Amino acid sequence: MSTQSIESLIEGGKATAAPPLGPALGPLGVNIGEVVSEINKKTESFKGMQVPVTVEVNSETKEFSITVGTPPASALILKEAGIKKGSGRPQEEFVADLVIPQIIKIAKMKEDNLLGKDMKSKVKEIIGTCNSMGVKVEGAKASETMNLVAEGKFEKEISSGKTELSEEEKKALEEERKQLQAEMAERHAKEEAEAKSIIDSMKGKPRNEIVAKLHEANIHDDTINKLLPVETEERAEVKGEEKKEPEKKE
């Protein structure tokens, strides 16, 4: 028995017989409409996201099987939270909040790729990823919520497997996300203003002295590098590169 495989990147729930999928399947003699329909069923939960799909076709019987890959857990978290990126300071600043049903939803999507033996363990894995992205879970730091899961606080929710939210719950999470983003923007603006004041007061001094003063004021490194970028020569010295001496003219 020989099989042929077709791999393609499909938007969840929106596969069609158009290129690239249709023309690739045509020569294999399968019912393209059936394949497309099956792909859309399997990728329905990934609407709005690109997912890898593999179609394997038996050359003799024309029977087919479909394997759907999943985006990284971090991408699923971003989509569920309605944000474009995680926090640059994940233990200090938070960009969104998710609730346990959303975590369960992501855990189910990634179920085959997670190490946990049961749903509770898989949920903890997803919460761990939230922790590294600055995404709260159930209104608290993800690390704190993970401890609550371990203590059995969300057993009922995890056992029920509920993944859908009411419109009221979605609205509340959206409002919290906006508030977290606004608070973060305000903190960054204040931090930049303080940093600029320090930099202006130390004008003409070596960068390392200014940076030390900024650190004393608890200014974050990303703000320092934004306002006080490392010069090319300093970068070369940090990397251990030798500065080239200008060529002497004879």
Please enumerate in sequence order all residues whose Cβ is within 8 A of that of 100, keeping only pairs 6 or more positions apart, or say none.
123, 137, 138, 154, 157, 158
Q: If you ran DSSP here, which 8-state letter would residue 88 be given?
A: S
Q: Is 55 exposed, middle or buried (0-12, 13-18, 19+ CB in 10 A)?
A: buried
> In this structure, what is the dihedral angle of CA atoms 10, 129, 105, 96, given to the nearest 10 degrees?
-100
Task: Give the pair of three-digit tokens for residue 237.
Answer: 């010295």
pLDDT digit string (tens) for the chain, length 250 residues: 588 999 998 888 999 999 888 899 989 889 999 999 999 998 887 777 788 899 999 988 999 999 888 788 998 999 999 999 999 999 899 999 999 999 999 999 888 888 889 999 999 999 999 999 999 999 999 999 999 999 999 999 999 988 889 999 999 999 999 999 999 999 999 999 999 999 999 999 999 999 999 999 999 999 999 999 887 445 544 445 444 555 555 4
Considering only CA atoms, which of 193, 235, 239, 230 is closest in space to residue 211?
Answer: 230
- The domains found in the chain, sorted by start residue, are 3-68 (3.30.1550.10), 73-165 (1.10.10.250), 181-238 (no CATH)
Number of residues in the chain = 250
**Rounded to 5 degrees, what are φ and ψ at 206?**
-60, 150
